[in-house]
Structure 1
Amino acid sequence: MCTVEHYYWRCKQCGAKRDGTPRIRFFACPKGPAMDACTGANHVDKITDEEPCETCRHNSSIARRGAEMSIRWAWDLYAQADNNCPTADRDLYRQLDRFLRDRGLFLRPNRHDLEDVKREWQACAAVYPLRFAEALCTWQARLLDKRWRHAHGFRRGEHCSSSNMGPLARMLYSAYGLVLSGLVLLAHPQDAEAGVTRRVSNEYPTAPNGRERISLNGDWRFSRFASNPDSLSYDVMKEWIFPTGNQFVVTGTQHTRPSGTPPGSNVTYVQASFDDSDWEAVNLPHDWAIKGPFNAPGIPNSMGALPINGVGWYRRNLVIDSADADKSIFLDIDGAMSNAAVWLNGELVGGWPYGYASFRLDLTPYVKVGDNMLAIRLDNPLNFSRWYPGAGLYRNVWLVKVDQTHVGQFGTYITTPAVSAESADLDLTVEIENKRNVSREVDVVTDVYVLDTATGRAGGDVVATFPQTTTSAMASSRHTVNASTTIANPLLWGPPPEQEPNMYVAITKLLADGEVIDVYETPFGIRSVTYDGDKGISINGKLVRIQGTNNHHDLGSLGAAFHLRAAERQLELLQELGCNALRMSHNPPATELLDLADRFGFLVQDEIFDVWRRQKISDDYHLYFEDWHEQDLRSFIRRDRNHPSIISWSYGNEIVEQTEDSGGAMAEELHAMVKAEDPTRKSGAAMNRAQAGSRFADAGDVVGLNYQGEGHGESFNSAFPSFRAAYPEKVILSTESSSAVSTRGTYIFPVTPANHSNVGVQDGGNAGVDPENLLVSAYELYAVSWGASPDKVFGMQDKHPYVAGEFVWTGWDYIGEPTPYDTEARSSYFGIIDLAGFKKDRFYLYQARWRPDLHDPLSYYPSQSAHILPHWTWPDRVGEVTPVHVFSSADEAELFVNGESAGRLQREPSNYRFRWDDITYEPGELRVVTYKDGAEWAVDTRKTVGDAAKLTMTADHTTISADGHDLSFISVAVVDENGDTVPEASDSITFSISGPGEIVSTDNGNPGDFTEFPSLTRKAFSGLALAIVRSEAGASGEITVSAEADGLEGAQVVLQST
């Protein structure tokens, strides 16, 4: 096989470019068709040559057009595949499709038309060239792996060759290496010399006492006490734990540890001699409350009615090697809910009260060579949160071992003061901490690489270097050094699909006497952010309308314990929705969630406080604000400020004192702290009562309005104009909008004729609600009294085009705050997606608004641009009026009921809902045909389904890592004989599992279901249920998950743990 290449050279040192001449290349694998021994590198020749740049003589080259021709050749080969491929090939295709979906590359799994696949893959490669290339590389490696092939249908001992593959499989196997090489070169031209292999060089010898960061998530013992077992409390310990935050006290008072015996020294749980063998064995992250039971005494439904309260003790042994005796030893806790206090070997080390803070403790004075006993105490009062906070060590915990002279905690800060397509200026600040009692001369060397987001590691050669700095690190002090550099032709970070979220990593090395004593990595992105009061927010000069959602930190039935795959799944669905921004309401998120936001390309408003000095509930953060707000705020900013996804900070949400002068004074103080820590971003507080021109509103440089823009409830009195008049230069955002409520798949009659209704307060007090079953209508017209329907919000946003966008309350349902059933249900009704991860009808309403061109066959998302509601199976409503609504961005829509037209409607501006409110129900089929610019646009149907006959199961991942953390989310549907979901099915489903995995929780998205989350029996809700499977650490093999229900045919799904 051969292709003609046209290419040009580009110097990666100076950016100079010159054309090359065409050449012919041949492709063949020297290992032959039986390719077990082929590494893939032999499959495609390197397509670049070293040649000195005519401008600066630097040796570098890039054959971009050659890569483009290689991709074209691969698609031509693809077209040779048999469209009627055999079953084995279809399975192989589905495996690839699922594999790409798992990496955020959204393809269509339900079609095999070659031209459709070709267009979609080309579009996917264009939008995410690097991610697409890396995914193909990994998948090709799987094909070359015997264990993977055997697990996916190849017979034992077979080679993966043309003799045992169908035509599609042969094509996929032979073409991927070629496609990969072209895509990698297109995505990262500066890596052309290295081909697919990327290198990270190290010129310096590394000292034996370099940095180690070790997970402490395993092998804990835990016990919860409903009442205080040890007479300890925050008031008793606060003077002792204050010094933990001294590093972040700039304007306040530094704290000195009191003299005498610290509290807790006589508590048996901190002693190494205590026998904890009858305590529960747990791994972190751990949420002690999520297993239930519900209706915990004293816990309100607003907090999920789960047992979050009480004192929890965690214990773990640490072994310190003699080689570490001269190191600094730190404990890094990413999140502990709440009032954390830590002891090592019976001595109080320190603590931190805010449950959402990430903090560090210096174990060095207390540690010894050999065994060490680490004990952590947490204490949650009954009434300290407005939503479900979780409980326990719910985020990751790390042990850091490093030379006593090292880069400090959150010790680097990279800014990009000037950014263009041609170059980017980088400024770097490095904080060096010297724990030694003598000064030390240190060299600081920082190189910049492209970040391989698939591995989280540096890739390729150095793309920029900061000038080396030599400094004297004074004894027992912190010292900062600064440097600047420039990157030519930078790969910019920006939100997809118009831009790509490219990432870099700066690797900082500290050297003493020529040896590397510390290595510190800083992922970052290069982008510019422009805030314009007239236009809104631009990234890299391109206007981006904020299509955002608020999200609390729980992960549904998994609780507050952070799971990377669960968070990734949430972002995948939000991105499919068309969401491009996240507001971290109302607390610092897990750092891994920000990593995902960087990788996916979401914009983020990072938020820290829900209360200041004035309480919202009795035991909330107001008890700690005076003592800890500076430490919490500064550490939060320093932790997160290198994330390119963050475009603004929020230092408060609906603060009680926002209308008072004291609130304005505190807003000014907090805003000044934010600016001191990060002068590159805007900040403010989300306001629901503050007036334009008030001291509170004046303090911020971005205006965030909660519900005031669209007008509360039935009111259309908007606050947008007054804030616009007061602050014409400031960006205005709806930091919370809508607060619509619904339960998935449930429709309640009659339906309001308006485009908005306050839930439950009209039509005799039952508007859109079914109090007996704790349901809210899914016609998506009903909102809480302070909120508005999506339809109303769209109209008010469009009426005021200077508004930069919105953050909807909320993207996902969450545990707690079950309005309108505040004292009866256990989770919220606000989400566009329900607690189990199933899409509500509202999903398609926002999708029509946020992705109006969804029909585009080149879209990298699954395509659907018309959505009918309700379902059409109403045996008790024959002859009754049953309104039919369609969500679409089309210009016109025509509805057919059993083939008869019910009328063709035109869409009004800012409206994405077509309504036929006088349809009389009769069994059969609904069909809508939509039109745009006079041409047919999209079609959707609903039909009457039969009785429940069987279950079906679908896993979002059929292959999971055997690391004890990876998850597969398995959806179960109750279907009729034709495989159509029975829309009101509520059959009780029993799950079972065999193999190296466990079912950690089940759910169905029903806010009124009080079955405990770990239960293996779960009723279907609106025909669906969910089981979450976690792998067993270190155990590979098949995992079989089964579902059964009385009177129905059961189902199974097989997962592979590798």
Structure 2
Amino acid sequence: MNKRFSFLATIFILLLGVFNSVAQDRETDFNFNWKFSLVEDTKKPSKLPLDDENWRDIRLPHDWSIEAQFDEKLEGATGYLPGGVGLYQKHFATPTSTKNKSIYVLFDGVYNNATFWLNGKLLGENPYGYSPTYFDLTKHLKTDGSKNVLTVHVDHSRYVDSRWYSGSGIYRNVKLITVDKLHIPIWGTFVTTPEITSEKAAVNIQVQVANQNRGAASFDLKTKIVDNNGNVVAEITENQKVKGRKEGVFNQKLEVKNPKIWHIAKPNMYTAITTISKKGKIVDSYTTPFGIRSIKHDKEQGFFLNGESVFVKGVCIHHDGGLVGAAVPKGVWRRRLQNLRDAGVNAIRTSHNPFSQEFYDLCDEMGFLVQAEIFDEFDNPKDKRENLNEKHDDYFSRGYTEHFQKWGKSDLTRSILRDRNHPSIFEWSIGNEIEWTYKDYKHVSGLWDEGAPNYWNRIPNISAKEMQKRYQELPDRKYKLAETSKRLAGWVKDLDTSRPVTANLIIPVASLASGYAQNLDIVGFSYQINQYNWSKKYYPELHFTGNENAGAWQEWNSIIEDPMIYSMYMWTGIDYLGEANKQWPQKGWDGDILDFAGFKKAGFDHFKSIWVNKPNLAIGTYKIEDTSIIDSLSGQVNLTKKQLNWNNSQAQKSWNYKKGEMIMVEIPTNLHKVELFLNGKTLGFRSLSQSPDRILRWAVPFQEGVLTAKGGFDGQEQEVILKTTTKPVTIKLSVDKTVLTADGYDVAHVIAQLIDKDGNKITSNNEAKISFSIDGNIRVLGIDNGSKFSVQDYSAKSVITNNGKALLLLQSLKEKGKVTVKFTGQGLKGDSISITVE
């Protein structure tokens, strides 16, 4: 009897474990086994599902625009790549009995004007390509065992509807969500940490519970907090009740002792696991990653993270990942973010739209602060080819303004609900440089008056009172920016009061006069740093800082000198596709720190010397076109104050020029004094006291050989060199990962580097065409050389190097095995590497 009881008890425990495991498995990866077709007609299909037998087999995320050829006849605003109309279908079995279950599909991003059907039944639509959306599939699912068909129609025929490359298609992750009729809805929790000391932290979790049953439901609502080591550090259980066909919101308060704080230097994370149980059985389980951290913005003293004053060393970036377009694997973002971190970057501004959930997850994990931006347009359209009011009234450039009045609140709400538990996000930005789009708005400032100097970074020559008078005298108009911004800021506050609301103001003095700026907690300036003091004088109650900057020393110096200004977001941290109108073959915007392939640029060394508190010495060169800046006696480079303040270096790590050409040698450093040598002969010292922008400069007539810079710090000497290289003879391969997980997501970056006969890396002037071949099962995502002028297909099998190198990006399949990658080139000794997929 005892043995039989013990056996039955064991079976019961196993079955209960299986049940609980199933109950907790809410999310299913829905990225694989899709069908895709490009079509000519923008008209939505009427007879569904569609015959997709001859469509392409694809997996998500997917961006069809990046698969196309660059075409000069297209628009530089979006990178000379096309849009179009695409159709997606997925055939799938109903995953479980729909009895007592609800099943949703969650799209993290579809660009754009997307319409969704299941088995021919309309689910809904989502015009904004940057916001997440989800739909309830339950009532349309098949119960007879036959396959369901999910159809998505994506209309990106208006392919110039952003001012940058947007991508096209289902370019972010898709998940299937299966829950009990009594469950926590998607994005149904909100965690805050209102009180934090070294001994304890108060953790409040707001939990939404939906009861889709007819009758009322009583249940146990339990939340336990788990640290990174899997230890339960706090828990609470409460009995709750929700009426039938209703939702309830419950607030649970917990306390974590000796909390591990989330900080940019050590981004500790916790997980809140919230379960709903009935009669001891778990019917739903919801996990919420979060961090314990405090933020404070002070209009006199700047920004504080966990009580510590922090300078926000930020960059603006767009959402594309170079050769992968807008469908960016997590591993690509990880490499790029790590390279930015190595340059001292600690903050990201998501310009100018919500990014993917995966991106914010990485920022949480890696310790980046994020200013999460939501819109680039409100009531009135921007010109997509010029960042001004609309001038080109054509079909192709109709953008989000067409949808803002109807969809603005919904898009903002869904984005914030998804993202408000990320500790990395410390500010919400409602918009970017919106002022251009409101008629006569700029003239309020007086900066465009006849005879006035150029508006750029100028101090106004009229008073704040005169500006306010001018604003009141504007003719009546349909939309007023102050009114729209008040609504937007209110929508944010309805969802989250734990973070401030900001925006990026391109004409901040006019925005102050209009009342727009007063609707913001933080007034973010776009470049106009000389207007800080004027604004503080007339509006002392407001907090001003930088939300977009050129990356110049003058801007960083404004932070050092004024404690109110705590942030600088350099435009841009990474080269991005688009915003290159009439600049063919330049396909995108030229940033400072990383190029299109994620390779480091001259700006990497400059920002590292400013932002990283470790000894740094680097060297770069370029040809001097204007020799009048050279002192003929001393060889000193005499740049004007303006040139020093606004210099953005284009130096290359090269010592290959024509004999006698006058070359600028730039050495970004934080060492106090550096000596330069050419072929062992000293060219003298330069010091930081002579170089207020932290770049030491020499004018040097070119001679072949070795350029050496030496500097000391704390008794230790550092040295960097550049060598004249000869033609390439060898290809040398390297890879960031030699072992990939066979999950269909993991990526490897293979770098092909040209080497000359002396073993030196080719860095310029001696490029070569190289080709690759692969033996084994792996997905090739593309090849690129990082150049802004390269308009070759990313799907090509060969590439011409840029600065002596190129990038091949590979992604694992769900197959294990060995993969060999080989690169060859005419007249070059090839190289190969092996990757294991396991």
Bin the TM-score by the shorter chain.
Answer: 0.7 to 0.9
Q: Aligned partners of 1:330, 1:979: CA distance in 2, in Å? A: 57
Q: What are the Cα deviations for residues 697-730 of structure 1, in whole angstroms up to 9, with x where unaligned?
A: 1110112111111xxxxxxxx1111233345465
Q: What are the Cα deviations for residues 321-379 of structure 1, in whole angstroms up to 9, with x where unaligned?
A: 55343310111111111111111111111121110111110111211222211111111
Question: Is the Cα contact below 8 Å between 1:302 and 1:823 reproduced in 2?
Answer: no
Structure 1 gaps of 5+ residues are: 1-201, 233-263, 453-458, 710-717, 739-788, 856-863
Question: Is the Cα contact below 8 Å between 2:259 and 2:292 reproduced in 1?
Answer: yes
Counterpart of 1:463 in structure 2 is 233
Q: What are the Cα deviations for residues 860-914 of structure 1, in whole angstroms up to 9, with x where unaligned?
A: xxxx533343568666521222121111011111111122221111213742100
SS of the equivalent of 1:451 reads coil
Say if 1:800 and 1:822 are closer, same or farther in 2 by CA, change over 3 A.
farther
Does residue 634 of structure 2 align to residue 634 of structure 1? no
Counterpart of 1:305 in structure 2 is 80
2:722 maps to which of 930, 942, 950:
942
Does residue 292 of structure 2 align to residue 526 of structure 1? yes
Question: Is the Cα contact below 8 Å between 2:23 and 2:282 reproduced in 1?
Answer: no
TM-fit CA distance, 1:689: 1.1
Counterpart of 1:674 in structure 2 is 492
- 1:658-669 to 2 correspondence within 5 Å? 659=441, 662-669=480-487
TM-fit CA distance, 1:514: 2.7
1:956 maps to which of 711, 720, 736:
736
SS of the equivalent of 1:965 reads coil
1:602 maps to which of 368, 371, 380:
368
Letter of the 1:633 partner, please give it: L
SS of the equivalent of 1:802 reads coil
Does residue 103 of structure 2 align to residue 329 of structure 1? yes
Q: Aligned partners of 1:867, 1:703: CA distance in 2, in Å? A: 37
Question: Is the Cα contact below 8 Å between 2:556 and 2:568 reproduced in 1?
Answer: no
Question: Is the Cα contact below 8 Å between 1:952 and 1:1051 reproduced in 2?
Answer: yes
Q: Aligned partners of 2:105, 2:534: CA distance in 1, in Å? A: 49
Say if 1:419 and 1:873 are closer, same or farther in 2 by CA, change over 3 A.
closer
SS of the equivalent of 1:527 reads coil
Question: Is the Cα contact below 8 Å between 1:427 and 1:482 reproduced in 2?
Answer: yes
SS of the equivalent of 2:793 reads coil
Counterpart of 1:837 in structure 2 is 598
SS of the equivalent of 2:516 reads helix
Does residue 42 of structure 2 align to residue 224 of structure 1? no
Counterpart of 2:607 in structure 1 is 846
Say if 1:970 and 1:205 are closer, same or farther in 2 by CA, change over 3 A.
closer
2:429 maps to which of 650, 654, 660:
650
SS of the equivalent of 2:194 reads strand
SS of the equivalent of 1:436 reads coil
- 1:393-404 to 2 correspondence within 5 Å? 393-404=170-181
Q: Aligned partners of 1:1045, 1:416: CA distance in 2, in Å? A: 58
1:504 maps to which of 270, 286, 294:
270
Counterpart of 1:260 in structure 2 is none
TM-fit CA distance, 1:952: 0.7
Counterpart of 1:41 in structure 2 is none
Q: Relative CO higher for 1 or 2, CA cutoff 8 Å, sep ≥ 6?
A: 2
- 1:361-372 to 2 correspondence within 5 Å? 361-369=135-143, 370=145, 371-372=147-148
SS of the equivalent of 1:523 reads strand
Say if 1:924 and 1:284 are closer, same or farther in 2 by CA, change over 3 A.
same
Say if 1:205 and 1:724 are closer, same or farther in 2 by CA, change over 3 A.
same
SS of the equivalent of 2:129 reads coil
Question: Is the Cα contact below 8 Å between 2:116 and 2:123 reproduced in 1?
Answer: yes
Structure 2 gaps of 5+ residues are: 1-15, 384-396, 442-470, 472-478, 623-651
- 1:105-144 to 2 correspondence within 5 Å? none
Say if 1:204 and 1:970 are closer, same or farther in 2 by CA, change over 3 A.
closer
SS of the equivalent of 1:949 reads strand
1:374 maps to which of 134, 146, 150:
150
Counterpart of 1:928 in structure 2 is 709
Letter of the 1:394 partner, please give it: Y
1:734 maps to which of 535, 540, 546:
546
Question: Is the Cα contact below 8 Å between 2:20 and 2:283 reproduced in 1?
Answer: yes
- 1:844-993 to 2 correspondence within 5 Å? 844-851=605-612, 853-855=613-615, 864-870=616-622, 877-908=658-689, 910-917=692-699, 919-932=700-713, 935-982=715-762, 983-993=764-774
TM-fit CA distance, 1:469: 2.4
Counterpart of 2:261 in structure 1 is 492
- 1:402-441 to 2 correspondence within 5 Å? 402-441=179-218
Question: Is the Cα contact below 8 Å between 2:340 and 2:593 reproduced in 1?
Answer: no
Q: What are the Cα deviations for residues 816-845 of structure 1, in whole angstroms up to 9, with x where unaligned?
A: 1237x6344212212410001111111100
TM-fit CA distance, 1:932: 4.3
Letter of the 1:285 partner, please give it: P
Q: Aligned partners of 2:483, 2:354: CA distance in 1, in Å? A: 23
Counterpart of 1:750 in structure 2 is none
Question: Is the Cα contact below 8 Å between 1:814 and 1:831 reproduced in 2?
Answer: no
Does residue 566 of structure 2 align to residue 804 of structure 1? yes
TM-fit CA distance, 1:503: 0.6
Does residue 152 of structure 2 align to residue 390 of structure 1? no
Question: Is the Cα contact below 8 Å between 1:442 and 1:471 reproduced in 2?
Answer: yes
Counterpart of 1:593 in structure 2 is 359
Counterpart of 1:89 in structure 2 is none
Q: TM-score, normalised by structure 2?
A: 0.85
Question: Is the Cα contact below 8 Å between 1:501 and 1:599 reproduced in 2?
Answer: yes
- 1:230-249 to 2 correspondence within 5 Å? 231-232=43-44
Question: Is the Cα contact below 8 Å between 1:405 and 1:436 reproduced in 2?
Answer: yes
Question: Is the Cα contact below 8 Å between 1:414 and 1:428 reproduced in 2?
Answer: yes
Letter of the 2:196 partner, please give it: V
Q: TM-score, normalised by structure 1?
A: 0.67
Q: What are the Cα deviations for residues 572-604 of structure 1, in whole angstroms up to 9, with x where unaligned?
A: 111111100011111111111111100001001
Does residue 818 of structure 2 align to residue 1056 of structure 1? no
SS of the equivalent of 1:285 reads coil
Q: Aligned partners of 1:580, 1:495: CA distance in 2, in Å? A: 7
Q: Aligned partners of 2:745, 2:248: CA distance in 1, in Å? A: 39
Question: Is the Cα contact below 8 Å between 2:113 and 2:126 reproduced in 1?
Answer: yes
Counterpart of 2:575 in structure 1 is 813
Question: Is the Cα contact below 8 Å between 1:340 and 1:353 reproduced in 2?
Answer: yes
Q: Aligned partners of 1:206, 1:884: CA distance in 2, in Å? A: 66
Q: Aligned partners of 1:501, 1:597: CA distance in 2, in Å? A: 9
Question: Is the Cα contact below 8 Å between 1:302 and 1:822 reproduced in 2?
Answer: no
2:113 maps to which of 339, 345, 350:
339
Q: Aligned partners of 1:366, 1:874: CA distance in 2, in Å? A: 67
Q: Aligned partners of 2:292, 2:692: CA distance in 1, in Å? A: 35
Question: Is the Cα contact below 8 Å between 2:655 and 2:723 reproduced in 1?
Answer: no
TM-fit CA distance, 1:693: 4.4
Q: What are the Cα deviations for residues 654-691 of structure 1, in whole angstroms up to 9, with x where unaligned?
A: 11357478101111111111112111111111101131
Q: Which has the higher strand share?
A: 2
Q: Aligned partners of 2:34, 2:746: CA distance in 1, in Å? A: 20
Question: Is the Cα contact below 8 Å between 2:218 and 2:278 reproduced in 1?
Answer: yes
Q: What are the Cα deviations for residues 99-155 of structure 1, in whole angstroms up to 9, with x where unaligned?
A: xxxxxxxxxxxxxxxxxxxxxxxxxxxxxxxxxxxxxxxxxxxxxxxxxxxxxxxxx
Counterpart of 2:587 in structure 1 is 826
Counterpart of 1:28 in structure 2 is none
2:524 maps to which of 704, 712, 717:
704
Question: Is the Cα contact below 8 Å between 1:873 and 1:923 reproduced in 2?
Answer: no
Counterpart of 1:690 in structure 2 is 508
Question: Is the Cα contact below 8 Å between 2:72 and 2:584 reproduced in 1?
Answer: no
Q: Aligned partners of 2:373, 2:542: CA distance in 1, in Å? A: 19
Does residue 327 of structure 2 align to residue 545 of structure 1? no
Percentage of identical aligned residues: 32
Counterpart of 1:155 in structure 2 is none
Does residue 245 of structure 2 align to residue 476 of structure 1? yes
Counterpart of 2:11 in structure 1 is none
Aligned length: 735
Question: Is the Cα contact below 8 Å between 2:371 and 2:427 reproduced in 1?
Answer: yes
